[in-house]
Structure 1
């Protein structure tokens, strides 16, 4: 496809988006019915602002979901310290809660507008950002094109391209180049990601490391933690966290096998999507297991087999209850989930082999001895059994993981340095405005 045809295709995308705009209502209402949209703020998805724009320079920061939001909180806090206003958009209800909990009124939160021209134009007309900072792999063609048409600098931070995304873009190289040429800078997570962005036409590209490494450990309610520890007592535990369909039942089956060898074993299962909790509890109960659900406030007793972590925002609590964690979306699905939080909380990390989305983090952890990949359920059961039986080996893995995370830190400083040419003029402008107001 030539460059001319690529631009024609993007123009068609723009027109198609405008034509599809009237059909967006049913889609948003359907998501709201599933609890995936905030009904009271659904107009924000059409670009209708629910807050006034503050005077002075303003940066638009976007993070898609919970993981990306947590990763950019330290970055946002650093920018806010310079006195520049931020409108922070996210795409999910849970990520909105994270923004409220961790940043409060320090930022203006809005739900990200749909990637359709009328919605994006309305959003940009109101907020008039001086700079757009996009986290990870959120490549929305209409948003990028509209920002480019308005000459708003766009910087992709913590940039990552999965194997699937890179393959898809490689099949449309001219479209990729026509989009990525609008990015003023790409700050990639790894050298591999950096090379992929360069291959698709992005310039300039720098490498920072993963911002998720520079986040503090996930928070915990100390009273809840101590209460649960008293309920568990001296029982051996292991966890399966950020799990997806098939992995929870696999963990329950492993529990049924290992409890014969490890008296009093408690298995902690934390599904990636807590709304599946009720169905999972029923399935596990039908297997003859005693299941306690965190969402119901049920107590862990001596005969509890499974503690189901079916709540939002309590990963820090669940990880602090065990020294062994299988990280999901790595056996039954591909891509993997973030192993850094378990590692920084001194947890021995296990995962399946499908961890492409966190390849570098797993490579570093595996090389240092802080993580181990398993082939299937039987190999996972064997690894859990080994770590439960061998305290020294378990402690070595825990220590190696924590040390590796410490060695990987520094992405925040690198990212701030890359952003400096774009943020510094806004800092000066904000200070001049403040002096003028006095």
Structure 2
């Protein structure tokens, strides 16, 4: 939770290659909308500074738009100026930072929508990639907006327009002005799947009064892991349960059957592995590992999917002019294929028996979510830097569901071993699937708690259904 103050030829089997009910307002110690209020000099200072900093927001947003980080046509949403009206009836607002948290939010929206077709949803996120994810999922009765600036006047305009009946913050987005305004308007709030890094824990502990004041605004708080639950319990002065990581409850990645079939036909019987969600500096490691693998298997294929597709051209040049999916180019006889598109990672996990979950090979990186490869059935390799998902990877390591590689040599050796030993590959895949199956109970408890925070009229109808 973040504080916002501020080798040999592989075997021929499947692993070888695939191309051929208690009220949450009291049960969790929540102060909710009417809890005790503590004074915090830090929060008072923050609110003052947010006014001052807000004066330069326009220039900052324009600069981000020029770099492609903001949608220039929707900058008005950052100021809580909207062209569409609030949906009638009960509206649940969910707030998520980026693509990972948005995936959790969409899972909750889909499940809540199935439980009650009268509910409508507002999802606010902070990045273009998360907006694109929401657009692709296109869930019914769901409106996406960009997160408003955390400036008092903007936040008031946001609540006046949308008038949510419930607010749900996902994982790490704790914006003081949003929380304080929700409290002032008596909007019940929930913080779900909270995760706290050691760095952000230190920041929270340095401001205990502010932490207590903000966390007391949530009627329901759940943590993704025991470390965060213990820390939040101390900071909040009320118990917080470690329900488990809601990312484990995410469905298996969507696979476009036609796209998969076309790629499989293009790849044929070649040995294939995937480097997924790579960052700058990691492609060089993956390419060096692939060069080692090709010493023994000259026609081996590396599917390289960058975390940021806009880097595709540079990566293709780094790989000696590799074909790019965003340009409609086919794999052909290339040894590296750059899949610089969004929304297709599930296809590539399904095609590759072995996958590097990148964002983990360099010290400044903190890892990526391993749930997608686990549920897609791709044997996982990760680098050593997985702080953001440490608990998930610890569980995977303990169960034999993932292995670590620190450099190109170890990465090549790990890929070659999983290609060669089909039994080991299959056991690792099944172990990872067993770990991710534990997310269902956490999701069920979270959904029940959120429903208990809805207006009494909705609760009564659901209870009688």
TM-score of the superposition, structure 1-length normalised?
0.91
- Please state if 1:62 is matched with 2:95: yes
Counterpart-to-counterpart distance in 2, 1:421 and 1:204:
18
Cα distance per residue 1:388-427 (max 9 Å; x no partner): 2222222221222223222443221010122232026251
Shift of 1:189: 1.0
- The runs of 5 or more residues in structure 1 that have no matched partner are 432-438
- 2:443 equivalent in structure 1: 412
- Please state if 1:97 is matched with 2:132: yes
Superposition CA RMSD, Å: 2.1
- 1:133 equivalent in structure 2: 168
Maintained 8 Å contact 2:250/2:371: no
- 1:292 equivalent in structure 2: 323
Cα distance per residue 1:188-243 (max 9 Å; x no partner): 11222211211222635222212222121111211111111011111001111111
Maintained 8 Å contact 1:59/1:84: yes
| Higher RCO structure, 1 or 2 (CA under 8 Å, sep 6+) | 2
- 2:366 equivalent in structure 1: 335
Residue in structure 1 matching 2:296, options 249, 258, 261 = 261
Moved over 4 A (4+): 428-431
- 2:28 equivalent in structure 1: none
Counterpart-to-counterpart distance in 1, 2:358 and 2:174:
25
Shift of 1:244: 1.4
Maintained 8 Å contact 1:186/1:202: no
Shift of 1:70: 1.6
Maintained 8 Å contact 2:452/2:459: no
Maintained 8 Å contact 2:107/2:250: yes
Counterpart-to-counterpart distance in 2, 1:213 and 1:246:
28
Larger deviation: 354-363 or 230-239? 354-363
Maintained 8 Å contact 1:183/1:202: no
Tell me how many residue pairs correspond in the alignment. Answer: 424
- Please state if 1:84 is matched with 2:119: yes
Secondary structure of 1:292's counterpart equals: coil
Cα distance per residue 1:268-314 (max 9 Å; x no partner): 111111111111111221xxxx5121111111112x11111111111
Q: Mapping of 1:245-394 within 5 angstroms?
A: 245-285=280-320, 291-302=322-333, 304-332=334-362, 333-394=364-425
- Please state if 1:179 is matched with 2:211: no
- 2:3 equivalent in structure 1: none
- 1:236 equivalent in structure 2: 271
CA 1:418–1:238 in 2, change beyond 3 Å: closer, same or farther? same
Counterpart-to-counterpart distance in 2, 1:227 and 1:273:
24
Q: Mapping of 1:215-234 within 5 angstroms?
A: 215-234=250-269
- 2:24 equivalent in structure 1: none
Shift of 1:350: 0.8
Higher helix share: 1
Counterpart-to-counterpart distance in 2, 1:315 and 1:58:
32
- The runs of 5 or more residues in structure 2 that have no matched partner are 1-36
Counterpart-to-counterpart distance in 1, 2:221 and 2:191:
5
Counterpart-to-counterpart distance in 2, 1:108 and 1:231:
38
CA 1:282–1:182 in 2, change beyond 3 Å: closer, same or farther? same
CA 1:369–1:122 in 2, change beyond 3 Å: closer, same or farther? same
Secondary structure of 2:236's counterpart equals: coil
TM-score of the superposition, structure 2-length normalised?
0.86
Counterpart-to-counterpart distance in 1, 2:434 and 2:113:
30
Counterpart-to-counterpart distance in 2, 1:210 and 1:268:
29
- Please state if 1:48 is matched with 2:81: yes
Counterpart-to-counterpart distance in 2, 1:401 and 1:244:
24
- 2:228 equivalent in structure 1: 193
Q: Mapping of 1:8-27 within 5 angstroms?
A: 8-27=41-60
Q: Mapping of 1:134-213 within 5 angstroms?
A: 134-201=169-236, 203-213=238-248
